[in-house]
Structure 1
Amino acid sequence: MKSISKILMVIAVLLSTISAFAQIKNAKTETIKIFGNCDMCKATIEKAGNVQKVANVDWNKDTKMATITYDGSKTNQDEIMKRIALAGYDNEKFRAPDDAYAKLPGCCQYDRAIKTVTETKEKGMDMKGHTNHNHNEMVPQSNAPSQNVSQLKAVFENYFAIKDALTKTDVTAASAKATQLATSIKGVDMNKLSAEEHTVWMKVMKELATNTESISTSKDVSKQRNAFAALSENIYQLAKVSKQENSIYYQHCPMFNGGKGANWLSKESVIKNPYYGSQMLTCGSTVETLK
């Protein structure tokens, strides 16, 4: 009877999986490694990755490999892996934020091989004889304030350069600086961000890239400014959790976008409006100071 019950359970699971796959249109199937330990990990990983009729994740706790099937017109592998990382699980695409990992139950706190390798390179340690150490108790150098600033400094500086170009209504300069920002975004090593920065970065990185591309490829200053408004909101979210060398001013223009308004960040407390340039250079106010 037990054998029959097990067979029936397996058949039920297979039928459920086939049914889930059948509901997904434009289906693409890929495999990727996701770190974890147990059946509880499996439940959490699959719950984080699954979206009804859009994405299905099947994770094997023994091989640590996941089969993901998704509608390529509605999502992609990065979006699925990002959700799983935010749930606390490192994978081949994204490293989970430290605070998300720390919230996992004890049985689910897998050996963070990705983090250990990074720390070993930075500290010049010989891992021989250290395999039984609790690496979660080691304080990674990546949380040092100086490294946090250096990882994101180029992102902020290129953003401010775009702001200055738009203040001067210089379409060519704004495009060039946006191209530089795109490069600095790609150059960020998430493993060296603080836990808070890491969490926010994973949420905004796709939109940052999209906003930046819109500015870099456009020759129309009004389109650049619209994209800059969206870019500013994402940069603001990042600036709020990042350590800054100097104060940053979050400023507001009440007139932009038909009176709906828009915000931007500046290294100066003096208002220099990037949405209207010389037409209304001093229009606006500082609504928050980030230190």
Structure 2
Amino acid sequence: MKSISKIWFACTLLFSLAIYAQSKNITTETVKIFGNCDICKSTIEKAGNLKKVATVNWNKDTKIATLTYDSQKTSQDEVLKRIALAGYDSEKFLAPDNAYAALPECCRYKRELKPTAKKMEMDMKADHSNHASDKMAETKEATSQNTSQLQPVFAHYFSLKDALVKTDANTASAKASELSKAIKAVEMTQLSNEEHMVWMKVMKDLSTNAEKISTIKDIVKQRETFAILSKGMYDLAKVSKQDTPVYYQHCPMYNNGKGADWLSLENEIKNPYFGAQMLTCGSTVETLGNP
């Protein structure tokens, strides 16, 4: 019996140590996620759960979800993004309208975090001309907000590209640091539905690659990371409203002939992957925004 007790104690101790070792990276947080019913609960938890990485337990009465995840493998933002893409608003991320619209009728919760429209009574009191003026002003303001959110991101990206064209690693590092700050400053609630959905998919990679370029001074490695960064920027440019044309350009020679792409405000080719060595190598393959 004593031998069995010792074995049991040893196994229990080892199990406890294993749990402790794992728990050092485990984070548990609560966040409000909007929904209505048991179907919502199933969908929210399925969207947020990731085997051996994250689990979600949502209470339909309180609307509070308990998130438990390995902080070295994921983050609260990543869990909530997946839930938003499934159609459910949280305190940090709004679901795309088309994802919300695809929910079963019983699951279409009241979207408390969406901007509310002016009361109809107020609109009816205003005369037609004032009403039209107000609507124009609101549209202009909304457009300005959307543009201002992403404009700095694109502006700093183009500055980074120009530094690589000049083969200036120090300036490229500085411009990448500015790009990283611009990415973190974006308020997703002010983006259009299309921008919002793409932004949630590319934001992490954009931020990671911008920070990486900012911390290295090797022009070769900066260009390698810029090629990856440009993929996310292209996805974002396709759904963003551009005031001027943006040219999607391709260099067939980079990376041992595998090629790489980038965005430019100029149709004239100025290659960021080779600089002066092969400045005009490449071609414009697509024009985004206004022709």
Both structures adopt the same fold (TM-score exceeding 0.5): yes
What is the alpha-carbon distance in structure 2 between the residues aligned to residue 268 and residue 256 of structure 1?
20
The unaligned stretches of length 5 or more in structure 1 are 1-21, 127-139
Q: Deviations over 1:65-115 (max 9, x none)?
A: 111222333222211111001111111221212222222222212122222
Deviation at 1:280, TM superposition (A): 0.5
Q: Deviations over 1:155-177 (max 9, x none)?
A: 11110000001000111111111
SS in structure 1 at match of 2:250: strand
Q: Which residue matches 1:207?
A: 205
Q: Which residue matches 1:194?
A: 192
What is the alpha-carbon distance in structure 2 between the residues aligned to residue 55 and residue 237 of structure 1?
27
The unaligned stretches of length 5 or more in structure 2 are 1-18, 121-137
- Equivalent position to 1:273, from 260, 271, 274: 271
Q: Which residue matches 1:37?
A: 36
SS in structure 1 at match of 2:89: coil
Change (3 A) 1:263 1:151: same
1:225 maps to amino acid: R
Q: Which residue matches 1:282?
A: 280
The structure with the larger Rg is: 2
What is the alpha-carbon distance in structure 2 between the residues aligned to residue 236 and residue 185 of structure 1?
15
Q: Which residue matches 2:95?
A: 96
Deviation at 1:51, TM superposition (A): 1.6
Report matched runs for 1:55-66 at 5 Å.
55-66=54-65
Q: How many equivalent pairs are there?
A: 254
- Equivalent position to 1:251, from 249, 252, 256: 249
Contact 1:89 1:95 in 2 (8 A): yes
Change (3 A) 1:257 1:266: same
SS in structure 2 at match of 1:257: helix
Q: Which residue matches 2:52?
A: 53
Q: Which moved more, 1:83-92 or 1:232-241?
A: 83-92
Change (3 A) 1:141 1:83: farther
Report matched runs for 1:68-217 at 5 Å.
68-116=67-115, 119=116, 144-217=142-215
Deviation at 1:142, TM superposition (A): 9.5
Q: Which residue matches 1:136?
A: none
Q: Structure 1 vs Structure 2: percent identity of aligned residues?
A: 65
1:227 maps to amino acid: T
2:52 maps to amino acid: K
Contact 2:27 2:71 in 1 (8 A): yes
Q: Deviations over 1:3-35 (max 9, x none)?
A: xxxxxxxxxxxxxxxxxxx9xx54432222111
Contact 1:55 1:68 in 2 (8 A): yes
